[in-house]
Structure 1
Amino acid sequence: MTPVSILTLDGVAFALPDGRPLFTDLNECFDQRRTGLVGRNGVGKSLLAQILAGNLAPTAGHCRATGRVHCLAQQIAGPDTTVAQLAQVGEVLDALRRIEAGSCSQADFDTVGERWDMRERLQAQLARHGLEQLDADRPVATLSGGQAMRVALLGAFLSEADYLILDEPSNHLDGPARAQLLSLLKEWNKGLLVISHDRELLAHMQRIVELSPLGLASYGGNYSVYAQCKADESAQAERTLERLKLERQRQARELQQQRERLERRQARAGREARDSNQAKILLDRRQERSEATAGKLQRDHQAARQAMAQRVREAARRVEASNAIVLQAPAPARQAGSPLLTLQALRLPFGDPLQAPLDGCLYSGERVALIGANGSGKSTLLKVLAGLLAPHSGHVEVRVEVAYLDQHCSLLPATQSVLDYLRRRSASLDESSLRTRLAQLGLGAERVELPSGVLSGGERLKAALAGVLYGDTPVQLLLLDEPSNHLDLPALAALENMLCQYRGALLVASHDTMFLQQLGLDRAWRLER
């Protein structure tokens, strides 16, 4: 059966408040297929979602919807939001209460419409998904991230929408909450668009659409199909670029040969003219024609060179902007036989007093995953190991230089440029070496001089890692807290590449199983609540 379009983009464009175009001339149809929307950070995916949902008007073009659209943004709840409001039925329940208290307001009756059983429907959905303990008026601030996302998704079911848009729904969710998210999405049998960099979630999509400065490109299939297509496109773009560079070299040789032939003809004609007895006026006309021919040839050659240069530039733009990440940080000296850190009967601050104490050792060069449900203490343990928090009780000994990198890259001052940050951290390297190493990490000359606060999450993470790994004192133990959150797919691949090249010890907390699988880990520490 041919898919029926629910959302249609027709020449859609959007410009930022300063007038800069974010995207232009987008044309695409979104049907019942489960679709993942991917693209680099800052390309405009979330804004496009708001346009598709009808919450934002495009600068140009049109977005048409043939049914009701329900959209969940990344920030799904404020501090005072209730369960009912998060499920987007708060106004209906409030109107019902007023009517039950005697209100005759037409606005209240219009709000309720035919949904007189909304209170019972909400409680039935909560019970169906294991959330029967939640009351409609309970503050969302008291829920876990997984519970909040499940409640928000229940609102989509209650809305009876024809199309559901989710913006980064798996961010901050632990393993069980991610499994619950996938289970809920499997029950959704209508149109679905998921904006995400979560490869596990994208693996359940039927189509991937990529937003880039070139527009929208559609790939039939899940993430694996998309990744293979992108690899094929990248290889083809590389081949095209190399072919055009060879053509440019051949063109330059041919143009040089044409110029030399013309110069030889002109020289021969000059000698013949001097040896002949022709009148001066005839000689002058011949000279003018020769100069005109030479001028035309020069203009033709210039146009040919410019056309070829343009073809090469266009081919280069289609090659992946970020080359392979190169990490030059020296391998830390290994201390064979002795542990880098030791935990003995360690109890974490703010933790459950009934939680079992932590014991363990981590040795030189080991790569360890720190896993556990939200609230189990992973971030707290990393802060204790980094010396930022004191343990509640027990003993922790760290015998080497440690660097702690949190989700917000707090090591990197927002008002300081990346270059200034590295100058301070790496006094032994001259500026040329610093710029070269930053360029090898995909941080170009124009970006490293900007305040780091205006950089993308991926750029900030690479810069913070560069400060850690290129510092004057080699770091022997790297502590990472959910480093893959908010990174787009290219930045995620770059991070994985960097961490695979790092030869020191690594302790990384993450709920992204595919990310952890790429790091060549030796074992895992699991924290239980």
Structure 2
Amino acid sequence: MTTTSITVSGVSYVLPDGRALFTDLHEQFDGRPTGLVGRNGVGKTVLARILAGLLAPASGQCQRLGSVHYLAQQVARPKEATVAELAGVQPTLDALSNIAAGSTAPNDFEMAEGNWDMAQRFHHELERGGLGYLDATTLASTLSGGETMRVALIGAMLSQADFLILDEPSNHLDRPNRQALIEQLQRWPRGLIVVSHDRQLLDAMERIVELSPLGLHSYGGNYTFYAEAKACEQQNALEQLSQRKLERQREERAQQKQRERQERRQARGNRQGKETNQAKILLDRQKARSEASAGALRQSQAARQAHHRKLVLEAAQRVEDAAHITLHDIPVTQAAKRTVATLERCVLPHVTSATRHIDLMVRGQQRIGVVGPNGCGKSTLLRVLAGQMAPLTGNCQVTPEYAYLDQRLESLNPQQSVFEQLREANRTTTEGELRMRLAQLGLDAQKITTPSGVLSGGERLKGALACLLYADTPPHLLLLDEPNNHLDLPSNQALETMLRSYSGALLVVSHDDTFLENLALTDHLYATEQGWHLAPV
């Protein structure tokens, strides 16, 4: 049996503006389920497309033993496309239909080979995925984001490829479907590479490969193992940086003493020459020898200084690469008993299930995780609280000091830079302080001054968060709809840390159990078949 693998050797990629995204990557991906992780903007999606053969590297080679099926982060839904086309099974279904109608074309039989039961298998997978209400001819344009991803995943599973490469496959999935995805991938018998920030999904992998400015680094275990290994690496990097700095200081002190000894010897030689009335020619020779010795010492010391600077710089780069994103605390002081939001006998628009009816009161320091399947009205609930929608009936009252972050980041103007929008929201803090806060979020000077629409999803989310949280009047109520969908793992952890320290009220919609568990929630608001149910944690 042929062993499937994808091997990259010396692979580099250059952006259209001439900047190198990554250089000289070396790694082999075998049959083990592998999670590909890394910071936002480091090039994970580009690398995944190179691995899939959809992009050519600027240099180096990518060798594939076996066929590859790639599933993009954003699944395209052409206007007239059907569910079968979205899943990629339409050509096979067409071939089977042609054969049933009497076709003897070799292409039809080649397409049908091994797939004679594709119609039945596709229907079975739709049923098993909770999508039995769809059929092959359903228009893909009618599907939600979660449904679109689930259909595309079914197509990936039916592809019979030697390798699946999935880019953020759990982003639009609710809790049950995230768990179903994990179980689905655990049944996959061939090669698998998953680009993800989903810690539960990454914990189901057998290996984690990290892409960083230092290259590719393989960790022989799941996410938990990777996180522990990274923590050890960070500690070792900090210790090595401290050691390199200490060595540089010792070298500088030793060189200073060396220079002082040489200067004393030179001064003593000059005095002795003058006191013994040596001839001028002898004094000149002595001076030349002294200057040559001093020059040689300077060169030797300069070389050693450059060597120590290089060692410190290399150690510092390893620490900086592992450094956490910093989010400033939001200074909110309010009474726990103060009411910040009230919904009385409200009927939510566009919701047809029992969750269209809701009564809810949110207190000043209440922290609520909103949990439920796709389509139950979670996002609609937040939009009503944020004044983006009006309830069909009932009363909705919300404190004016609130901030709302929707999944599409509509609060961020794609034509304006992040810095311009933060400056509009915060007129009291100095420009330097605002730039520093954005830099601590991982947004450098170039990114904060370019139109926000060209930034990556994670970078745009950081910019939107900064504009809301660092406004002149800090919010007393945060309404967050899937806030960690596009964040890398360090940024995810930083967001969790910031939200834990936030003393205001919080309603957060998320399908990420690990994320919710780390927020120190006081309550869960569950969407059930009987309606909304608020329960303490």
Q: Name the TM tier (shorter chain).
A: over 0.9
- Residue type matched to 1:42 in 2? G
Matched, 1:524 2:515: no
Residue 124 of structure 1 deviates from its aligned partner by 4.2
Q: Retained in 1: the 8 A contact 2:203–2:223?
A: yes
- Residue type matched to 1:500 in 2? R
Over 3 Å counting, the alpha-carbon distance change for 1:440 and 1:165 in structure 2 is closer
Q: Whole-Å Cα distance in 2 between the matches of residues 162 and 61 of structure 1?
A: 23
Q: Whole-Å Cα distance in 1 between the matches of residues 47 and 230 of structure 2?
A: 22
Aligned alpha-carbon RMSD (Å): 2.5
Over 3 Å counting, the alpha-carbon distance change for 1:291 and 1:61 in structure 2 is same
Residue 99 of structure 1 deviates from its aligned partner by 4.4
Q: Retained in 2: the 8 A contact 1:325–1:498?
A: no
Matches within 5 A, 1:425-464: 425-464=425-464
Q: Whole-Å Cα distance in 2 between the matches of residues 131 and 492 of structure 1?
A: 31
Over 3 Å counting, the alpha-carbon distance change for 1:362 and 1:46 in structure 2 is same
Matched, 1:224 2:241: no
353-362 vs 382-391, which moves further: 353-362
Q: Whole-Å Cα distance in 2 between the matches of residues 450 and 263 of structure 1?
A: 55
Partner residue, 1:286: 286
- Residue type matched to 1:415 in 2? Q
Q: Whole-Å Cα distance in 1 between the matches of residues 139 and 205 of structure 2?
A: 33
Report the TM-score, using the length of structure 2 for normalisation: 0.91
Q: Whole-Å Cα distance in 2 between the matches of residues 34 and 408 of structure 1?
A: 31
Q: Whole-Å Cα distance in 2 between the matches of residues 324 and 128 of structure 1?
A: 41
Partner residue, 1:406: 406
Q: Whole-Å Cα distance in 1 between the matches of residues 128 and 336 of structure 2?
A: 54
Q: Structure 1, residues 89-143: CA drift from partner, whole Å, max 9, x if none?
A: 2112223334444555554444445544433443344445554443222222334
Q: Whole-Å Cα distance in 2 between the matches of residues 433 and 20 of structure 1?
A: 28
Q: Secondary structure at the match of 1:286?
A: helix
Q: Whole-Å Cα distance in 2 between the matches of residues 460 and 150 of structure 1?
A: 25
Residue 312 of structure 1 deviates from its aligned partner by 0.8
Partner residue, 1:383: 383
Partner residue, 2:358: 358
Q: Structure 1, residues 297-352: CA drift from partner, whole Å, max 9, x if none?
A: 11222222122111111111101447455554553231353311111111112222
Q: Structure 1, residues 469-518: CA drift from partner, whole Å, max 9, x if none?
A: 33222311111110001111122122112212222111111111101111
Q: Retained in 2: the 8 A contact 1:34–1:191?
A: yes
Q: Whole-Å Cα distance in 2 between the matches of residues 423 and 71 of structure 1?
A: 41
Q: Percent identity?
A: 54
Matched, 1:27 2:29: no
Q: Retained in 2: the 8 A contact 1:346–1:393?
A: yes
For structure 1, the residue ranges without an aligned partner over 5 or more in a row are none
Residue 446 of structure 1 deviates from its aligned partner by 4.5
Partner residue, 1:180: 180
Q: Whole-Å Cα distance in 1 between the matches of residues 75 and 458 of structure 2?
A: 23
Q: Retained in 2: the 8 A contact 1:325–1:497?
A: no
Matches within 5 A, 1:79-158: 79=78, 80-101=80-101, 103=103, 105-113=105-113, 115-127=115-127, 129-158=129-158
Over 3 Å counting, the alpha-carbon distance change for 1:486 and 1:469 in structure 2 is closer
Partner residue, 1:66: 65
Q: Whole-Å Cα distance in 1 between the matches of residues 319 and 363 of structure 2?
A: 41
Give the paired residue count: 528
Over 3 Å counting, the alpha-carbon distance change for 1:219 and 1:294 in structure 2 is same
Q: Whole-Å Cα distance in 2 between the matches of residues 339 and 69 of structure 1?
A: 54
- Residue type matched to 2:7 in 1? T
Residue 193 of structure 1 deviates from its aligned partner by 1.3
Over 3 Å counting, the alpha-carbon distance change for 1:416 and 1:112 in structure 2 is same
Q: Whole-Å Cα distance in 1 between the matches of residues 239 and 202 of structure 2?
A: 29
Q: Retained in 2: the 8 A contact 1:95–1:108?
A: yes
Over 3 Å counting, the alpha-carbon distance change for 1:324 and 1:355 in structure 2 is closer
Over 3 Å counting, the alpha-carbon distance change for 1:355 and 1:417 in structure 2 is closer
Residue 413 of structure 1 deviates from its aligned partner by 2.3
Partner residue, 1:50: 49
Q: Whole-Å Cα distance in 1 between the matches of residues 237 and 459 of structure 2?
A: 24
Partner residue, 2:268: 268
Matches within 5 A, 1:238-253: 238-253=238-253
Q: Secondary structure at the match of 2:24?
A: strand
Q: Secondary structure at the match of 2:96?
A: helix
- Residue type matched to 1:280 in 2? K
286-295 vs 84-93, which moves further: 84-93
Q: Whole-Å Cα distance in 1 between the matches of residues 116 and 474 of structure 2?
A: 66
Partner residue, 2:535: none
Over 3 Å counting, the alpha-carbon distance change for 1:41 and 1:430 in structure 2 is closer
Over 3 Å counting, the alpha-carbon distance change for 1:230 and 1:371 in structure 2 is same
Over 3 Å counting, the alpha-carbon distance change for 1:70 and 1:433 in structure 2 is closer
Residue 176 of structure 1 deviates from its aligned partner by 1.3
Q: Structure 1, residues 72-104: CA drift from partner, whole Å, max 9, x if none?
A: 222334133322222322112223334444555
Residue 148 of structure 1 deviates from its aligned partner by 3.6
Matches within 5 A, 1:252-401: 252-321=252-321, 323-329=323-329, 331-352=331-352, 355=355, 357-401=357-401
Residue 378 of structure 1 deviates from its aligned partner by 1.3
Q: Whole-Å Cα distance in 2 between the matches of residues 39 and 185 of structure 1?
A: 21
Matches within 5 A, 1:449-488: 449-488=449-488
- Residue type matched to 2:48 in 1? A
Over 3 Å counting, the alpha-carbon distance change for 1:156 and 1:489 in structure 2 is same
Over 3 Å counting, the alpha-carbon distance change for 1:294 and 1:442 in structure 2 is same
Q: Secondary structure at the match of 1:319?
A: helix
Q: Whole-Å Cα distance in 2 between the matches of residues 518 and 25 of structure 1?
A: 37
Residue 442 of structure 1 deviates from its aligned partner by 4.0
Q: Retained in 1: the 8 A contact 2:241–2:315?
A: yes
515-524 vs 316-325, which moves further: 316-325
Residue 203 of structure 1 deviates from its aligned partner by 0.7
7-16 vs 94-103, which moves further: 94-103
Q: Whole-Å Cα distance in 2 between the matches of residues 87 and 519 of structure 1?
A: 36
Q: Retained in 1: the 8 A contact 2:98–2:108?
A: yes
Over 3 Å counting, the alpha-carbon distance change for 1:23 and 1:98 in structure 2 is same
Q: Retained in 2: the 8 A contact 1:342–1:362?
A: yes
105-114 vs 215-224, which moves further: 105-114
Q: Secondary structure at the match of 1:387?
A: coil
Q: Whole-Å Cα distance in 2 between the matches of residues 334 and 490 of structure 1?
A: 30
462-471 vs 249-258, which moves further: 462-471
Q: Whole-Å Cα distance in 1 between the matches of residues 455 and 53 of structure 2?
A: 29
Q: Secondary structure at the match of 1:254?
A: helix
Report the TM-score, using the length of structure 1 for normalisation: 0.93
Partner residue, 2:11: 12
Q: Secondary structure at the match of 1:527?
A: strand
Residue 178 of structure 1 deviates from its aligned partner by 0.9
Residue 424 of structure 1 deviates from its aligned partner by 1.9
Over 3 Å counting, the alpha-carbon distance change for 1:419 and 1:372 in structure 2 is same
Q: Whole-Å Cα distance in 1 between the matches of residues 185 and 56 of structure 2?
A: 28
Residue 395 of structure 1 deviates from its aligned partner by 0.6
